[in-house]
Structure 1
Amino acid sequence: MSRAKHTGKLTTLVGDLVQIETENPPGNEKKCVEYIVKWFDEHGINAELVEEPYTDRPQVGARIGEGDPTLVLNGHIDVVPAGDIDEWTHNPYDAEVEDGYLYGRGSVDMKTGIAIAMLATAELAEEIEAGELSGSVAFHAAIGEETAEPGTKTLLENGYDGDYGVVLEPTEMRTATSEKGLAWYEITVSGDPSHASRPDQGSNAIQYARPVLDALTDYDKTVRTREDDLVGQAYATVTMLEAGTKENVVPEQATITIDRRFLPEESIQDIDTEIDELLNQVADHHDIEVSWERTRTYESAAIDTDSSLAEVFRHHSAKVADVSTDPWGVNASTDVRNFVNDADIEAITWGPGDLSQAHTYDERVELSAANDGLDALLGAAREVLDGDLE
């Protein structure tokens, strides 16, 4: 397929996907899944609705060919909520094109990745069936990535696995061989309620929260001294503080949320221990009641920086655009952890588009970059499927 044909088909496909609202929460992926299955059927490819882990939120899995090696093209179809529509210059679900950009929620994160995976799968299917390529392709349209649900993990467990994986998040086509982990912790500080006209009768949970916040500030300073050459610093950021039920009631509870970004060298078990020991020290020293819960976890993941898969994608990215081929890691968390940690599959995070556009008002993708991404993906995939990796 020529680049000119790519351009029209890709713009249409990204636009169609963006116009199907798939916000998570609550998890409205079903209509988009049905569109993808129908699209594959129209292109002569049998794609399956996978009704795990949730029957009301199916996913898409497809497999083309039976030869080795198998390359898995992975993307998620859920998007974060659009937020205040009045803050958007372009309606988040109109997929408007202006000055070479397509606007809309999910345009970058990551329906462009899904679109280039669909088009690449269809084109590679023709070459596999013609005997031009010896390997095979698996395709994922996963649910629940935005909320750490086991969508990709389930697809891998249901047979849509392989020898190599590409998670098509927007990296501006830089090849990431590692990523930070993410854990959210809710810390509850307990007090005793009373009427605000008699404040000394109760125990104000907000006041009790002060030494906890001070300790978390010091913890963040300590954590920031930890660095990784590819993904940078670790962080422990207080992101939420909730307390009180009414203006004239001394609050009996305050809840502090921290966002803990951790490095591939750190384990979630060790971080749990750090949080537990920190809070126990504060509780003992200030005679307060504190408890905690880890509410969400995206594990960190890493493969060798000089992996053969990474080298192939670096090479083909640099062929079509001015892309750095230096070793690199992504600061965000992606489903690549399910490939590397759960399925022991060599995998990278790679795709067109600027990650800084993700989750923003007027989210947009540059269409020329999307086309470059499709060209690079096809070139790299052909090299992988020829069995040339060592």
Structure 2
Amino acid sequence: MSNVTDDDDDLKDVIKNLVQIETENPPGNERLCSEYIIDWFEERNINAELIERPYPDRPQVGVRIGNGSPTIVLNGHIDVVPAGDREQWDHDPYSATVEDGKLYGRGSVDMKTGVAVGMLATASLADEIRSGNVDGSIVFQAAIGEETAEPGTKTLLEEGYDGDYGVVLEPTEMRTATSEKGLAWYEITVTGDPSHASRPDQGTNAIQSAQPVLDALNDYDTEVRTREDDLVGQAYSTVTMFEAGTKENVVPEQATITIDRRFLPSEDIENIDNEIDNMLLEIAAVNDIGVSWERIRTYESAAIEENSPLAEVFRRHSAKTDDAPTNSWGINASTDVRNLVNDANIEAITWGPGDISQAHTYNEHIELSDAMIAFDVLSGAAREILNGAIDD
């Protein structure tokens, strides 16, 4: 799109610096990264606030520039999933090695490149806002805890770092997502009665009691898969974990089944709870077994109008690139866009550089040229919105 510029070099340096700061969650080591971001903005005479909510030992960052209308919020999370077995990486996951135009490292795609692009776009637009060349205001959020559904972004919104429009800078290959699936994890516990394995009939084997539950969950997944959304596809209910037993010669007294329930914007979490509850009550009654359940984590679904003015602006600017599709689209993963849309009533999209299939993988990497294009697209789209391109 353009020759190498100072912005390109700055962006590459910021991505490298962010990736080199290990912020694995769990346990949640975001402090050093937040402090780096604070210092980076202050070096550019931009006030940035270290927010010590919801956790004092894991602060996050909020930036607001200008007081005009409209306000656009650029959101990114700084926590990453653990790197896993480092022997499986071709490069140290926190070395931010650059090779053949790719930057390798945990978080390079998910989503420190998005954070870096947001930082540079915020700083670039700050100069235009302060000079009066741009009318609106910009908010930048560097949130903690997204990988484990913690209230990082939600807290930043409560602290006043909100606006009229929002962009969650997750890796979408610069496709504009106006909807996303929700995610709920359920733990189902089947109880039995322990005994020595030499006298198995003395006890009640929780693994055997769990079999009709597994069968029912398979039937439930088959039914759920018939539910579809034009943008985000099918719903799913997948058994992902099974835990039972304490020792080889003990009949297990408990079995725990975990399911991953991906749900559509049209589905309601309370209705899903009722589906799970009614299914398990019936199985327990028919098979005379003890069953209980708990929803242990929830990422709500979210959606705005498919042809919202915000989405149209980003589609149009993304169309200036060679590869970014401009058709209507929804994201299968869950992001903090749900907090902007559902909690703060902000018209928000998920949009950013990088291929989401790289997220959470060994040898995770980003094409640096994509990051540089994303900076140009984001800056241009945000500038147009701040100058009143979208009518209220």
TM beyond 0.5: yes
Deviation, structure 1 residue 324: 1.4
CA distance in 2, matches of 1:224, 1:104: 35
Counterpart in the other structure of 2:255: 254
CA distance in 1, matches of 2:274, 2:248: 36
Counterpart in the other structure of 1:22: 23
Q: Secondary structure at the match of 2:319?
A: helix
Gaps of 5+ in 1: none
Residues 57-102 of structure 1: per-residue CA shift (max 9 Å, x gap)? 1110000001000000000000000001111111100000011100
Deviation, structure 1 residue 2: 7.7
Q: Superposed, which structure 2 residues align to 1:187-206 within 5 Å?
A: 187-206=188-207
Letter in 1 for 2:280: L
Q: Secondary structure at the match of 2:5?
A: helix
CA distance in 2, matches of 1:20, 1:364: 16
Contact 1:321 1:372 in 2 (8 A): no
Counterpart in the other structure of 1:113: 114
2:269 equivalent to 1:276: no
Counterpart in the other structure of 1:357: 358
Counterpart in the other structure of 1:70: 71
Q: Superposed, which structure 2 residues align to 1:1-390 within 5 Å?
A: 4-390=5-391
Residues 307-343 of structure 1: per-residue CA shift (max 9 Å, x gap)? 0000000011111332211110000000000011111
Q: Structure 1's 24 and 296: CA in aligned 2 closer, same or farther, altered over 3 A?
A: same
CA distance in 2, matches of 1:318, 1:127: 24
Contact 1:320 1:375 in 2 (8 A): no
CA distance in 1, matches of 2:137, 2:3: 22
CA distance in 2, matches of 1:164, 1:139: 12
Letter in 1 for 2:230: D
CA distance in 1, matches of 2:339, 2:205: 43
CA distance in 1, matches of 2:130, 2:123: 11
In percent, how many aligned pairs have the same letter?
Answer: 73
Deviation, structure 1 residue 22: 0.2
Contact 1:30 1:57 in 2 (8 A): yes
CA distance in 2, matches of 1:67, 1:320: 30
CA distance in 1, matches of 2:199, 2:80: 47
CA distance in 2, matches of 1:66, 1:73: 16
CA distance in 2, matches of 1:264, 1:55: 33
Letter in 2 for 1:251: P
Contact 1:177 1:302 in 2 (8 A): yes
Residues 103-141 of structure 1: per-residue CA shift (max 9 Å, x gap)? 000000000000000000100000001100000000000
CA distance in 2, matches of 1:55, 1:91: 30
- Structure 1 runs of 4+ aligned residues shifted over 2 Å read none
Q: Secondary structure at the match of 1:319?
A: coil
CA distance in 2, matches of 1:355, 1:362: 13
Aligned length: 390
Letter in 1 for 2:319: A
Q: Secondary structure at the match of 2:83?
A: coil
Q: TM-score by structure 1 length? A: 0.99
CA distance in 2, matches of 1:232, 1:376: 27
Letter in 1 for 2:86: I
Letter in 1 for 2:181: K
Deviation, structure 1 residue 3: 5.0
Q: Secondary structure at the match of 1:236?
A: strand
Letter in 2 for 1:11: K
Q: Secondary structure at the match of 1:293?
A: strand
Q: Secondary structure at the match of 2:274?
A: helix
Q: Secondary structure at the match of 2:188?
A: strand
Contact 1:92 1:105 in 2 (8 A): yes
Deviation, structure 1 residue 293: 0.1
CA distance in 2, matches of 1:5, 1:185: 49
Letter in 2 for 1:356: S
CA distance in 2, matches of 1:278, 1:98: 52
Gaps of 5+ in 2: none
- Tell me how large the CA RMSD over aligned residues is: 0.9
